[in-house]
Amino acid sequence: MSESAPVPTSDESTTFPLAPKASPMFPLAPQPSLALAVLCGLLYFAAFPGCDVWPVAFIAWVPLLVALHRQTPRRAAATSWAAGVVMILLGFHWLLGMLETFSGFPTAACALIMLLLCMFLAGRTALMGWLYARANELGWHPRLTIFPAFIASELIYPVLFHWYFGATVHQVPVLTQVAELGNPIAVGLALLATNVAIAELIIARLEGAVPQWKATAGLLMITASAAIYGVVRLAQVDAMLEDAPKKHVGLVQANMGLMAKRTNRAEGLARHLRLTNSLREQGPLDLVVWSETSVAGAVPEKYANEYYERLFSRRLGVPAIFGALLTRRVEDARGYVLYNSSLISDRAGTVQGRYDKQFLLAFGEYLPFGEQFPSLYKLSPHTGRFTPGKSLAPLPLGEFNINVHICYEDIIPSFVNSMLQDEPVDLLVNMTNDAWYGDTTEPWIHVALASFRSIEHRKYMVRSTNSGVSAIIDPAGRVVANTGTFVEAALVEEIAFLRGPRTPYELYGDSPWWLGTVASIYMAFRSRRRPVPVSAAPPETPAPQDSENPEKPDT
């Protein structure tokens, strides 16, 4: 009979090592760790909107999780940062073209800005890797620490263009419905669970350990539960839509070039009116949505009502939401402020409401530090100099309320959620001009990220863009109709104006994710080790001495 292993005491069983135990395979050397990080970045890019190979999302994080196993926090942060650099360089390559076209800086300067931006944004994955490894080092179980670390990285790290891992499955409604519980982070967590399960199996195989099948099943059940939730909620949402009041809403995509909009305002207006009339000829039309700054030319706000009523008189014939530029005189060196605005008018052209954009696009609508150093605007003459708005009030359409957001405001979950807190809303509208980015994947990424707002608030969204992708999205995040890019187009759909009970995300917002972030930070700075009490420590046994040559005691 073989000798049995010693049974640990209760005190021993509750202690945790200060650092993860080493193994022949782990931690990995820098070269294989870097290779796995690059592979993670490539898989993430392949799964993300623009490439849309969504099944890859179930394994995208696996290489990085394997690479991080038993790594020190510093090495984990560096490895994760490398993965992030690959993600950003590939996924946001179109930022370089935008900078070249509109910043006015030379190509070399634009490339440097792009590189520095990618290096900074990659800090998002570096933060996740550091929090994860640091908590593991302090004795917390990796399966417990990875999810809060993921939450913290997606919630608190500052980014220029908000994106989420959960967007990888935007085309799979059965997996995205949990967004109403907590925006795309909830979707990302469901996907991450499968990644963790697969990574643990690979690590166990490489270490020669027995897989923990119950834990694997539990992780896979997280993903399965999200899918089951999706099946149930899709059926419920479809039933709600049948009973909701409906209106025919159209959108117009005029496809005017950015410079052409400024230099040929009459042609821009003519296109919008012509496409609107084509929708009216097709059948009933209760509202039409034009794109961001669709009516070019700055107008003093105190004359705006009179100007647009005269402009649209006997030409519009339908309530419209349109983009405009409004100015206000102020007493400073510049003499005025400029707003990127959205206005709603009745069928006679009388303005009924207004919203001013609040989140401005860096390098497009303002220069960072430009107000502190106005001379920067001389270096970038194509950059706008807008002032952010303040009011979050919805726009009225008879008895209904419409929440309008402009440009990339529709990809900021917390901001859109804040707009719906004070007054009930029946429809979401986004007005965008993605021509800034040229014929790239950006417009498709934008509409994919925006679709989650419909799920979070269970509302239809009408997105009218200058050059695509314009779309009508239902309350389950499904794209009902959409245009292509850089084409003239007009769409109309019968849309349900849904004012149902508030969703969990509307009620609680990002509060659960802030708790997860606090938990991650706590685990990164608080050891889980429990020191063995002195009274419980076994007595010291003197070292054996050589009987033939005993060591002479000290005198």
pLDDT along the chain (555 residues), means of 10: 44 39 80 98 98 98 98 98 97 88 82 93 98 97 96 96 96 98 98 98 94 97 98 97 96 89 88 96 96 93 93 90 94 83 94 95 75 68 82 96 96 97 95 90 97 98 97 98 97 95 97 98 87 47 50 44
Burial group, residue 314, by CB count within 10 angstroms (0-12, 13-18, 19+): exposed
**What's phi and psi for 64, nearest 5 deg?**
-70, -40
Alpha-helical (H) ranges within 288-437 are 304-312, 376-379, 413-419
Amino acid at residue number 409:
E
Q: What is the pLDDT of residue 23?
A: 64
Per-residue exposure over 456-481, b if at least 16 CB sit within 10 Å of its own CB, e if not: bbbbbbbbbbbbbbbbbbbbbbbbee
Q: What is the pLDDT of residue 537?
A: 46
Which residue in 192, 71, 181 sits closest to 502, CA to CA? 181
Amino acid at residue number 510:
D
Q: What is the pLDDT of residue 551?
A: 47
Q: How many other C-beta atoms lie within 10 A of the C-beta of residue 46?
A: 18
Can you tell me the distance from the alpha carbon of 133 to that of 70, in angstroms, rounded to the nearest whole number? 7
Q: What is the pLDDT of residue 534?
A: 43
Tokens of 469: 């992708």
Q: What is the pLDDT of residue 364?
A: 72
Which residue in 464, 465, 473, 321 sits closest to 400, CA to CA? 321
Which residue in 391, 409, 394 sits closest to 450, CA to CA? 409
Q: Which domains does the chain have, with CATH numbers?
A: 16-239+509-525 (no CATH), 245-498 (3.60.110.10)
Can you tell me the distance from the alpha carbon of 215 to that of 237, in angstroms, rounded to the nearest whole number? 33
Q: What is the DSSP letter of 22?
A: P
